[in-house]
Amino acid sequence: MEAVICGIDPGLGTTGYAVLRCAGDSASVIDAGVCRFDANQPLARRLVAVRSDLATIFDEHRPECVAVEELYSHYKHPKTSILMGHARGVILMAAAEAGAEVRSYAATRIKRFLTGHGRATKAQMQRAVQTTLGLATLPEPADVADALAIALCGAADMRERATEAAV
């Protein structure tokens, strides 16, 4: 089974994205980068920019699946979680409008999938992504590494579901 998977690391300032072509157990990077948004703009304008930038990526690559990191809420920063929820909602909407299957994964699941434990550091995740994809250099910035990790987790989940459906 060959599929195009897009991983998204949501953010209102920076959103990381990665597009992978997956066939069996192998994956190759088609595109990866970050979308940056002006913090001086009102929230509504930034949300329009998030949707616009991701819609362009989805239109260009036509992913079958868009994997998005779930929100993590810290009790000391509830406002951050609420603002991130706005960005994540717009991302889910853009993916659904593009006709992609949308899957969400907890950060701990993504980290556990790539490193074997759910509390991996950013540096450990970057090295795991580099090794898994056979990249010559560490993926940077961290938002890109996170998006690549999310896409890899989404690809593994798709393979697992396809195997279960075949049984």
Q: Which residues are designated catalytic?
A: 9, 69, 143
Q: Which residues contact 78 (CB under 8 A, 6 or more apart)?
A: none
CA-CA distances (angstroms) from residue 79 to 38, 57, 83?
19, 28, 6
Q: Write out the E strands in the chain.
A: 2-9, 14-23, 26-36, 65-69, 101-105
